[in-house]
């Protein structure tokens, strides 16, 4: 289920990025993949260190994912 949700999210973001030019689709797809990877790494680290998750962990994961996506999107801007 999670893999399907990730694939749909990547596809939708790539489709939206395609509206911005020929390199928009791959940039947006990479941004989503980078955000998912960063969020997963932080989540695994927190589970290992804290033994679970709290609301603060979810907030940190969300902020990390958003920041990672924005960083990737700044590369190769128009």
pLDDT one-digit tens code per residue, 15-74: 888 888 888 888 889 999 999 999 999 999 999 999 999 999 999 999 999 999 999 989
- Give pLDDT, residue 76: 67
- Which pLDDT does position 15 carry in this prediction? 87
pTM: 0.82
Question: For position 25, what pLDDT does the model report?
Answer: 87
The values of phi and psi at residue 10, to 5°, are -60, -45
Q: Give every CB contact of residue 35 below 8 A, 6+ residues apart in sequence.
A: 65, 66, 68, 69, 72
**Model pLDDT, residue 21:** 81
Is the pLDDT at 78 greater than 60, yes or no?
no
**Chain centre distance of CA 18:** 18
């Amino acid at each position: 289920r999670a893999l399907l949700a990730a694939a749909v999210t990547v596809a939708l973001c790539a489709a939206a990025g395609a509206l911005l030019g020929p390199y928009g689709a791959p940039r947006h797809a990479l941004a989503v993949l980078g955000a998912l990877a960063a969020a997963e790494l932080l989540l695994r680290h927190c589970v290992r260190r804290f033994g679970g998750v709290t609301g603060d962990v979810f907030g940190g994961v969300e902020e990390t994912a958003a920041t990672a996506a924005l960083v990737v999107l700044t590369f190769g801007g128009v």
